[in-house]
Amino acid sequence: MAATNTVFFCKECGYESAKWLGKCPGCNSWNSFVEEKIQKKAGSKVNKGFSSTFDNKSEVKKLNDIKVEKTVRIDTGYEELNRVFGSGIVEGSLTLIGGEPGIGKSTLIMQVCANLAKNGKVLYVSGEESEVQVKIRADRLKVNSDDIYFLSETNISQIENKIEEVSPKFCIIDSIQTMYDEEISSVPGSISQVKEVTARLMYLAKREGLTVIVIGHVTKDGVIAGPRILEHMVDVVLYIEGERFFSHRIIRGVKNRFGSTNEIGIFDMEDVGMVEVTNMSEVFLSDTNTNLPGTSIVATLEGTSTILLEVQALTAHSYYNMPRRVANGVDFNRVNMILAVLEKKCNINLGEKDIYVNVIGGIKIDEPAADLAIAMAIISSYKNIVNDLKTVFIGELGLTGEIRSATNFEKRVREVSKLGYNRIYGNKRQVELLKKEISDLKVELIGINTIDQAISYTFK
Protein backbone atom coordinates (compact mmCIF):
# COMPACT_ATOMS: atom_id res chain seq x y z
CA MET A 1 0.00 0.00 0.00
CA ALA A 2 1.26 3.46 -0.83
CA ALA A 3 2.39 5.62 2.07
CA THR A 4 1.53 9.30 2.17
CA ASN A 5 3.77 11.71 4.04
CA THR A 6 3.36 15.43 4.61
CA VAL A 7 6.69 17.22 4.57
CA PHE A 8 7.82 20.82 4.44
CA PHE A 9 10.48 22.06 2.04
CA CYS A 10 12.51 25.29 2.10
CA LYS A 11 12.05 27.10 -1.23
CA GLU A 12 15.53 28.60 -1.00
CA CYS A 13 17.78 25.63 -0.20
CA GLY A 14 15.52 22.56 -0.34
CA TYR A 15 15.87 21.73 3.37
CA GLU A 16 13.29 19.11 4.38
CA SER A 17 11.43 19.12 7.69
CA ALA A 18 8.61 17.10 9.22
CA LYS A 19 6.95 20.29 10.51
CA TRP A 20 6.69 23.93 9.50
CA LEU A 21 9.54 26.16 10.70
CA GLY A 22 9.63 29.94 10.68
CA LYS A 23 13.38 30.02 10.03
CA CYS A 24 15.21 27.52 7.85
CA PRO A 25 18.12 25.82 9.70
CA GLY A 26 19.86 25.26 6.38
CA CYS A 27 20.01 28.77 4.89
CA ASN A 28 18.52 30.94 7.69
CA SER A 29 15.71 32.18 5.42
CA TRP A 30 12.47 33.29 7.06
CA ASN A 31 9.00 32.09 5.96
CA SER A 32 10.44 29.94 3.17
CA PHE A 33 8.81 26.59 4.04
CA VAL A 34 6.01 25.18 1.89
CA GLU A 35 3.95 22.07 2.55
CA GLU A 36 3.86 19.13 0.16
CA LYS A 37 2.20 15.74 0.35
CA ILE A 38 4.41 12.96 -0.99
CA GLN A 39 3.03 9.55 -1.77
CA LYS A 40 5.45 6.75 -2.62
CA LYS A 41 4.89 3.24 -3.75
CA ALA A 42 5.72 0.51 -1.28
CA GLY A 43 9.35 -0.50 -1.52
CA SER A 44 10.36 2.46 -3.73
CA LYS A 45 13.40 4.57 -2.99
CA VAL A 46 14.23 8.15 -3.78
CA ASN A 47 16.98 8.38 -6.37
CA LYS A 48 17.17 4.58 -6.51
CA GLY A 49 19.31 4.65 -9.64
CA PHE A 50 21.24 7.73 -8.62
CA SER A 51 22.32 6.66 -5.13
CA SER A 52 22.83 2.93 -5.57
CA THR A 53 24.99 3.20 -8.67
CA PHE A 54 27.30 5.76 -7.17
CA ASP A 55 27.57 3.72 -3.96
CA ASN A 56 28.66 0.65 -5.92
CA LYS A 57 31.26 2.52 -7.94
CA SER A 58 32.66 4.70 -5.19
CA GLU A 59 36.22 4.14 -4.05
CA VAL A 60 38.78 6.18 -2.18
CA LYS A 61 41.69 7.48 -4.26
CA LYS A 62 44.68 9.66 -3.60
CA LEU A 63 44.20 13.11 -5.09
CA ASN A 64 47.61 12.90 -6.78
CA ASP A 65 46.65 9.62 -8.44
CA ILE A 66 43.61 11.06 -10.20
CA LYS A 67 44.32 11.64 -13.89
CA VAL A 68 42.62 14.60 -15.54
CA GLU A 69 41.96 14.46 -19.26
CA LYS A 70 41.68 17.57 -21.38
CA THR A 71 38.25 19.17 -21.05
CA VAL A 72 36.23 18.77 -24.24
CA ARG A 73 34.30 21.91 -25.15
CA ILE A 74 31.68 21.95 -27.87
CA ASP A 75 31.05 24.95 -30.12
CA THR A 76 27.50 26.31 -29.88
CA GLY A 77 27.84 28.15 -33.18
CA TYR A 78 27.68 31.57 -31.50
CA GLU A 79 30.74 33.40 -30.20
CA GLU A 80 28.66 35.38 -27.71
CA LEU A 81 27.24 32.21 -26.17
CA ASN A 82 30.59 30.41 -26.26
CA ARG A 83 32.14 33.22 -24.23
CA VAL A 84 29.43 33.02 -21.58
CA PHE A 85 29.92 29.25 -21.30
CA GLY A 86 33.70 29.72 -21.19
CA SER A 87 34.79 28.80 -24.76
CA GLY A 88 31.91 26.40 -25.37
CA ILE A 89 29.73 23.81 -23.63
CA VAL A 90 31.67 21.25 -21.60
CA GLU A 91 30.91 17.69 -22.63
CA GLY A 92 28.91 15.79 -19.98
CA SER A 93 27.75 18.93 -18.19
CA LEU A 94 24.29 19.89 -16.93
CA THR A 95 23.22 23.43 -17.83
CA LEU A 96 20.16 25.31 -16.57
CA ILE A 97 18.83 28.20 -18.68
CA GLY A 98 16.18 30.47 -17.15
CA GLY A 99 14.17 33.43 -18.34
CA GLU A 100 10.74 35.01 -18.43
CA PRO A 101 8.02 33.63 -20.74
CA GLY A 102 8.54 34.75 -24.32
CA ILE A 103 12.10 35.95 -23.73
CA GLY A 104 13.48 33.54 -26.36
CA LYS A 105 14.72 30.51 -24.41
CA SER A 106 13.24 27.87 -26.71
CA THR A 107 14.16 29.87 -29.80
CA LEU A 108 17.82 30.14 -28.82
CA ILE A 109 18.07 26.50 -27.80
CA MET A 110 16.52 25.35 -31.10
CA GLN A 111 19.14 27.38 -32.98
CA VAL A 112 21.89 25.92 -30.80
CA CYS A 113 20.55 22.41 -31.53
CA ALA A 114 21.25 22.95 -35.23
CA ASN A 115 24.93 23.53 -34.43
CA LEU A 116 25.21 20.81 -31.78
CA ALA A 117 23.80 18.28 -34.27
CA LYS A 118 27.04 18.62 -36.23
CA ASN A 119 28.80 16.87 -33.33
CA GLY A 120 26.26 14.09 -32.63
CA LYS A 121 22.62 13.22 -32.07
CA VAL A 122 20.41 15.73 -30.24
CA LEU A 123 17.27 14.63 -28.39
CA TYR A 124 14.83 17.50 -27.84
CA VAL A 125 12.33 16.62 -25.09
CA SER A 126 9.35 18.95 -24.74
CA GLY A 127 6.73 18.76 -22.02
CA GLU A 128 4.97 21.95 -23.07
CA GLU A 129 4.60 21.82 -26.85
CA SER A 130 3.45 19.23 -29.35
CA GLU A 131 5.66 17.91 -32.13
CA VAL A 132 3.81 20.11 -34.65
CA GLN A 133 4.48 23.27 -32.63
CA VAL A 134 8.16 22.47 -32.31
CA LYS A 135 8.40 21.66 -36.01
CA ILE A 136 6.80 25.00 -36.91
CA ARG A 137 9.44 26.80 -34.85
CA ALA A 138 12.23 24.75 -36.41
CA ASP A 139 10.99 25.61 -39.91
CA ARG A 140 10.77 29.30 -39.03
CA LEU A 141 14.36 29.21 -37.75
CA LYS A 142 15.44 27.12 -40.77
CA VAL A 143 16.69 24.31 -38.55
CA ASN A 144 16.97 21.17 -40.66
CA SER A 145 19.05 18.20 -39.51
CA ASP A 146 18.58 14.44 -39.53
CA ASP A 147 20.47 14.24 -36.22
CA ILE A 148 17.83 16.15 -34.23
CA TYR A 149 15.24 13.87 -32.60
CA PHE A 150 12.06 14.98 -30.86
CA LEU A 151 10.19 13.46 -27.93
CA SER A 152 6.99 14.77 -26.34
CA GLU A 153 7.13 13.32 -22.83
CA THR A 154 7.01 14.42 -19.19
CA ASN A 155 7.72 11.13 -17.38
CA ILE A 156 11.42 11.06 -16.46
CA SER A 157 11.48 7.24 -16.48
CA GLN A 158 10.21 7.15 -20.06
CA ILE A 159 12.72 9.82 -21.03
CA GLU A 160 15.55 7.74 -19.58
CA ASN A 161 14.39 4.74 -21.60
CA LYS A 162 14.32 6.76 -24.83
CA ILE A 163 17.77 8.18 -24.11
CA GLU A 164 19.07 4.62 -23.75
CA GLU A 165 17.32 3.67 -27.00
CA VAL A 166 18.45 6.64 -29.13
CA SER A 167 21.89 7.14 -27.48
CA PRO A 168 22.10 10.90 -28.12
CA LYS A 169 25.12 13.01 -27.34
CA PHE A 170 22.97 15.99 -26.31
CA CYS A 171 19.62 16.19 -24.54
CA ILE A 172 17.37 19.26 -24.24
CA ILE A 173 14.67 19.33 -21.53
CA ASP A 174 11.95 21.95 -22.11
CA SER A 175 11.06 22.56 -19.34
CA ILE A 176 12.15 21.13 -15.99
CA GLN A 177 8.90 22.27 -14.30
CA THR A 178 6.82 19.97 -16.54
CA MET A 179 8.81 16.80 -15.79
CA TYR A 180 7.78 14.37 -13.06
CA ASP A 181 8.74 11.11 -11.38
CA GLU A 182 5.79 8.72 -11.19
CA GLU A 183 6.95 7.42 -7.81
CA ILE A 184 6.31 10.83 -6.24
CA SER A 185 2.68 11.87 -5.98
CA SER A 186 3.22 15.63 -5.87
CA VAL A 187 2.40 17.66 -8.97
CA PRO A 188 5.01 18.46 -11.66
CA GLY A 189 6.92 21.62 -10.83
CA SER A 190 6.77 21.03 -7.07
CA ILE A 191 9.96 21.18 -5.05
CA SER A 192 10.21 17.42 -4.54
CA GLN A 193 9.61 16.70 -8.24
CA VAL A 194 12.12 19.28 -9.45
CA LYS A 195 14.79 17.98 -7.07
CA GLU A 196 14.24 14.35 -8.02
CA VAL A 197 14.13 14.92 -11.78
CA THR A 198 17.22 17.13 -11.73
CA ALA A 199 19.12 14.56 -9.69
CA ARG A 200 18.32 11.85 -12.22
CA LEU A 201 19.34 14.08 -15.12
CA MET A 202 22.60 14.91 -13.36
CA TYR A 203 23.23 11.20 -12.89
CA LEU A 204 22.67 10.61 -16.62
CA ALA A 205 25.06 13.42 -17.51
CA LYS A 206 27.85 12.15 -15.26
CA ARG A 207 27.39 8.41 -15.95
CA GLU A 208 26.87 8.49 -19.71
CA GLY A 209 28.79 11.66 -20.57
CA LEU A 210 25.51 13.08 -21.89
CA THR A 211 25.43 16.86 -22.30
CA VAL A 212 22.11 18.06 -20.86
CA ILE A 213 20.55 21.52 -21.25
CA VAL A 214 17.53 22.19 -19.06
CA ILE A 215 15.14 25.12 -19.58
CA GLY A 216 13.51 26.57 -16.47
CA HIS A 217 10.77 29.12 -15.84
CA VAL A 218 11.28 32.10 -13.55
CA THR A 219 9.00 33.39 -10.82
CA LYS A 220 7.63 36.93 -10.50
CA ASP A 221 10.72 37.72 -8.41
CA GLY A 222 12.95 36.90 -11.38
CA VAL A 223 14.47 33.68 -9.99
CA ILE A 224 14.15 30.21 -11.47
CA ALA A 225 11.03 28.46 -10.19
CA GLY A 226 11.71 25.62 -7.76
CA PRO A 227 14.14 25.31 -4.86
CA ARG A 228 17.37 27.27 -4.87
CA ILE A 229 19.15 23.94 -4.48
CA LEU A 230 18.33 23.36 -8.16
CA GLU A 231 20.96 25.95 -9.07
CA HIS A 232 23.47 24.28 -6.76
CA MET A 233 22.98 20.88 -8.38
CA VAL A 234 23.71 21.90 -11.98
CA ASP A 235 27.08 22.84 -13.47
CA VAL A 236 26.09 26.04 -15.30
CA VAL A 237 23.25 28.51 -14.72
CA LEU A 238 22.44 31.09 -17.40
CA TYR A 239 19.74 33.76 -17.34
CA ILE A 240 18.26 35.36 -20.45
CA GLU A 241 17.30 38.93 -19.66
CA GLY A 242 15.53 41.56 -21.71
CA GLU A 243 12.86 44.21 -21.71
CA ARG A 244 9.54 43.81 -23.48
CA PHE A 245 10.07 47.00 -25.47
CA PHE A 246 13.66 46.22 -26.53
CA SER A 247 14.70 43.66 -29.13
CA HIS A 248 18.05 42.81 -27.56
CA ARG A 249 18.53 39.95 -25.11
CA ILE A 250 21.31 39.62 -22.55
CA ILE A 251 22.58 36.15 -21.63
CA ARG A 252 24.25 36.34 -18.24
CA GLY A 253 26.23 33.62 -16.47
CA VAL A 254 25.12 33.26 -12.84
CA LYS A 255 27.04 30.07 -12.07
CA ASN A 256 29.74 28.34 -14.08
CA ARG A 257 31.96 25.55 -12.80
CA PHE A 258 34.04 25.74 -15.96
CA GLY A 259 34.47 29.48 -16.49
CA SER A 260 33.81 33.03 -15.34
CA THR A 261 30.43 34.15 -14.01
CA ASN A 262 30.98 37.76 -15.08
CA GLU A 263 30.47 37.22 -18.80
CA ILE A 264 27.45 38.35 -20.80
CA GLY A 265 26.37 37.77 -24.38
CA ILE A 266 24.17 40.11 -26.42
CA PHE A 267 21.62 38.88 -28.94
CA ASP A 268 18.90 40.61 -30.98
CA MET A 269 15.49 38.99 -31.32
CA GLU A 270 14.54 39.13 -34.99
CA ASP A 271 12.16 37.32 -37.35
CA VAL A 272 14.83 34.74 -38.15
CA GLY A 273 15.52 34.08 -34.46
CA MET A 274 18.26 35.24 -32.12
CA VAL A 275 21.10 37.08 -33.88
CA GLU A 276 24.31 37.71 -31.94
CA VAL A 277 25.58 41.27 -31.60
CA THR A 278 29.33 41.65 -32.07
CA ASN A 279 29.58 45.37 -31.22
CA MET A 280 27.78 45.67 -27.87
CA SER A 281 28.31 49.42 -27.55
CA GLU A 282 26.17 50.17 -30.60
CA VAL A 283 23.16 48.55 -28.93
CA PHE A 284 23.22 50.76 -25.84
CA LEU A 285 24.31 54.14 -27.21
CA SER A 286 21.73 56.70 -28.25
CA ASP A 287 20.56 56.81 -31.84
CA THR A 288 20.76 60.59 -31.94
CA ASN A 289 23.91 62.59 -32.56
CA THR A 290 22.51 65.77 -31.01
CA ASN A 291 24.22 66.75 -27.77
CA LEU A 292 21.69 67.46 -25.02
CA PRO A 293 22.17 68.31 -21.35
CA GLY A 294 21.97 65.46 -18.85
CA THR A 295 23.91 62.83 -20.82
CA SER A 296 27.30 61.20 -20.29
CA ILE A 297 29.15 58.11 -21.55
CA VAL A 298 30.86 55.48 -19.40
CA ALA A 299 33.05 52.51 -20.36
CA THR A 300 31.98 49.60 -18.16
CA LEU A 301 33.25 46.03 -17.96
CA GLU A 302 31.10 42.92 -18.30
CA GLY A 303 33.42 39.97 -17.88
CA THR A 304 36.10 40.27 -20.56
CA SER A 305 34.07 42.73 -22.66
CA THR A 306 34.16 46.52 -22.50
CA ILE A 307 30.81 48.16 -23.19
CA LEU A 308 30.13 51.86 -23.68
CA LEU A 309 26.86 52.88 -22.06
CA GLU A 310 24.91 56.12 -22.06
CA VAL A 311 23.80 57.47 -18.69
CA GLN A 312 21.03 60.07 -18.64
CA ALA A 313 19.92 62.25 -15.75
CA LEU A 314 17.11 64.75 -15.26
CA THR A 315 16.87 67.31 -12.48
CA ALA A 316 13.64 69.26 -12.07
CA HIS A 317 12.06 71.47 -9.43
CA SER A 318 10.11 69.37 -6.94
CA TYR A 319 6.55 70.21 -5.91
CA TYR A 320 6.60 67.70 -3.07
CA ASN A 321 7.83 67.96 0.49
CA MET A 322 10.12 65.02 -0.20
CA PRO A 323 11.72 65.28 -3.67
CA ARG A 324 11.60 62.15 -5.79
CA ARG A 325 14.65 60.02 -6.52
CA VAL A 326 14.38 57.44 -9.31
CA ALA A 327 17.22 55.20 -10.52
CA ASN A 328 16.88 52.73 -13.42
CA GLY A 329 19.87 50.54 -14.27
CA VAL A 330 22.01 51.78 -11.36
CA ASP A 331 21.91 51.15 -7.63
CA PHE A 332 19.47 53.52 -5.92
CA ASN A 333 21.59 53.86 -2.75
CA ARG A 334 24.69 54.64 -4.80
CA VAL A 335 22.87 57.44 -6.60
CA ASN A 336 21.87 58.90 -3.22
CA MET A 337 25.51 58.74 -2.12
CA ILE A 338 26.64 60.58 -5.27
CA LEU A 339 24.01 63.27 -4.68
CA ALA A 340 25.22 63.73 -1.10
CA VAL A 341 28.82 64.13 -2.26
CA LEU A 342 27.84 66.68 -4.93
CA GLU A 343 25.85 68.71 -2.42
CA LYS A 344 28.53 68.61 0.29
CA LYS A 345 31.74 68.93 -1.72
CA CYS A 346 30.57 70.92 -4.78
CA ASN A 347 28.00 73.19 -3.09
CA ILE A 348 25.32 72.12 -5.57
CA ASN A 349 21.84 72.42 -4.07
CA LEU A 350 20.04 69.25 -5.08
CA GLY A 351 17.87 68.88 -1.97
CA GLU A 352 14.87 70.55 -3.61
CA LYS A 353 15.16 68.77 -6.94
CA ASP A 354 13.45 65.70 -8.32
CA ILE A 355 16.25 63.60 -9.79
CA TYR A 356 15.90 60.77 -12.30
CA VAL A 357 18.83 58.62 -13.46
CA ASN A 358 18.53 56.09 -16.28
CA VAL A 359 20.88 53.79 -18.22
CA ILE A 360 19.88 53.58 -21.88
CA GLY A 361 19.06 50.13 -23.25
CA GLY A 362 17.73 48.46 -20.11
CA ILE A 363 21.12 47.15 -18.92
CA LYS A 364 22.22 47.41 -15.28
CA ILE A 365 25.53 48.83 -14.08
CA ASP A 366 26.89 47.29 -10.88
CA GLU A 367 30.47 48.53 -10.78
CA PRO A 368 31.56 51.75 -8.99
CA ALA A 369 33.60 52.93 -12.01
CA ALA A 370 30.36 54.47 -13.36
CA ASP A 371 30.14 56.96 -10.45
CA LEU A 372 31.89 59.76 -12.33
CA ALA A 373 29.63 59.39 -15.38
CA ILE A 374 26.50 59.44 -13.20
CA ALA A 375 27.70 62.54 -11.37
CA MET A 376 28.55 64.37 -14.61
CA ALA A 377 25.15 63.54 -16.13
CA ILE A 378 23.40 64.95 -13.03
CA ILE A 379 25.53 68.11 -13.06
CA SER A 380 25.00 68.55 -16.80
CA SER A 381 21.22 68.49 -16.31
CA TYR A 382 21.39 70.75 -13.27
CA LYS A 383 23.51 73.38 -15.03
CA ASN A 384 21.75 72.81 -18.37
CA ILE A 385 25.15 72.51 -20.05
CA VAL A 386 25.97 69.83 -22.58
CA ASN A 387 28.51 67.04 -22.03
CA ASP A 388 30.38 66.20 -25.22
CA LEU A 389 29.13 62.78 -26.38
CA LYS A 390 32.66 62.02 -27.59
CA THR A 391 33.90 62.26 -24.00
CA VAL A 392 33.97 59.21 -21.70
CA PHE A 393 34.04 59.32 -17.89
CA ILE A 394 35.66 56.48 -15.91
CA GLY A 395 36.16 56.57 -12.15
CA GLU A 396 34.79 55.79 -8.70
CA LEU A 397 33.60 58.69 -6.56
CA GLY A 398 34.71 58.63 -2.92
CA LEU A 399 32.82 60.18 -0.02
CA THR A 400 35.41 62.95 0.23
CA GLY A 401 34.88 63.89 -3.43
CA GLU A 402 38.04 62.24 -4.76
CA ILE A 403 38.10 60.28 -8.01
CA ARG A 404 39.44 56.81 -7.35
CA SER A 405 41.02 54.38 -9.79
CA ALA A 406 39.06 51.88 -11.91
CA THR A 407 40.00 48.26 -12.57
CA ASN A 408 41.35 47.35 -16.02
CA PHE A 409 41.68 51.01 -16.94
CA GLU A 410 44.00 50.33 -19.86
CA LYS A 411 41.55 47.86 -21.39
CA ARG A 412 38.74 50.39 -21.18
CA VAL A 413 40.89 53.11 -22.73
CA ARG A 414 41.89 50.94 -25.67
CA GLU A 415 38.26 50.09 -26.42
CA VAL A 416 37.23 53.76 -26.22
CA SER A 417 40.08 54.73 -28.53
CA LYS A 418 39.13 52.01 -31.02
CA LEU A 419 35.55 53.30 -31.20
CA GLY A 420 36.68 56.81 -32.15
CA TYR A 421 36.08 58.84 -28.99
CA ASN A 422 38.06 62.01 -28.38
CA ARG A 423 38.55 62.35 -24.65
CA ILE A 424 38.63 60.28 -21.43
CA TYR A 425 38.42 61.56 -17.86
CA GLY A 426 39.89 59.30 -15.17
CA ASN A 427 41.96 59.02 -12.03
CA LYS A 428 45.06 61.19 -12.40
CA ARG A 429 47.56 58.56 -11.22
CA GLN A 430 46.17 55.95 -13.62
CA VAL A 431 46.20 58.44 -16.48
CA GLU A 432 49.82 59.42 -15.89
CA LEU A 433 50.97 55.81 -15.68
CA LEU A 434 49.14 54.91 -18.87
CA LYS A 435 50.61 57.86 -20.75
CA LYS A 436 54.11 56.64 -19.90
CA GLU A 437 53.37 53.08 -21.01
CA ILE A 438 51.45 53.82 -24.21
CA SER A 439 52.39 56.59 -26.62
CA ASP A 440 50.25 55.69 -29.65
CA LEU A 441 46.80 56.35 -28.15
CA LYS A 442 44.49 58.35 -30.40
CA VAL A 443 42.39 59.62 -27.49
CA GLU A 444 43.14 62.49 -25.10
CA LEU A 445 43.56 61.40 -21.47
CA ILE A 446 42.67 63.92 -18.75
CA GLY A 447 43.63 63.06 -15.18
CA ILE A 448 41.57 64.45 -12.28
CA ASN A 449 41.82 64.05 -8.52
CA THR A 450 38.44 65.37 -7.40
CA ILE A 451 34.94 65.85 -8.72
CA ASP A 452 35.48 69.62 -8.54
CA GLN A 453 38.27 69.34 -11.11
CA ALA A 454 36.05 67.27 -13.42
CA ILE A 455 33.35 69.97 -13.26
CA SER A 456 35.78 72.82 -13.87
CA TYR A 457 37.48 71.06 -16.80
CA THR A 458 34.23 69.97 -18.45
CA PHE A 459 32.07 73.07 -17.99
CA LYS A 460 34.56 75.85 -18.63
Cα distances from 351 to residues 39, 346, 451, 455, in angstroms, run 61, 13, 19, 19
- What was the pLDDT predicted at 283? 66
Would you tell me how many other CB atoms lie within 10 Å of the CB of residue 349? 9
Distance CA 238, CA 242 (A): 13
* Overall residue count recorded for the chain in this entry: 460
- Are the C-beta atoms of 447 and 432 separated by less than 8 Å? yes
- What was the pLDDT predicted at 53? 41
pLDDT in tens, 135-191: 999 999 999 999 999 999 999 999 999 999 999 999 999 989 899 998 887 778 778
- What was the pLDDT predicted at 341? 95
Angle, CA of 377, 379 and 385, to the nearest 5°: 90
Distance CA 428, CA 404 (A): 9
- What was the pLDDT predicted at 118? 92
pLDDT in tens, 290-300: 678 999 999 99
Q: What is residue 63's three-state secondary structure? A: helix
Q: What is residue 402's three-state secondary structure? A: strand
Residue type, 41: K
Please provide the DSSP assignment of 237-292 as one string.
EEEEE--TT-SEEEEEEEEETTS-SS-EEEEEEETTEEEE-S-HHHHHS-S-----
Residue type, 201: L
- What was the pLDDT predicted at 224? 59
Q: Is the dihedral of CA 418, 76, 97, 242 positive or negative?
A: positive
- Are the C-beta atoms of 209 and 173 separated by less than 8 Å? no
What's the pTM value of the predicted model, to 2 decimals? 0.74
Cα distances from 67 to residues 47, 62, 235, 267, in angstroms, run 29, 10, 21, 39
The verdict on whether omega for the bond into residue 175 sits within 30 degrees of 0, i.e. cis, is yes
Give pLDDT < 50 ranges for the chain: 1, 42-55
Q: What are phi and psi of 317, to 5 degrees?
A: -60, 135
- What was the pLDDT predicted at 1? 42
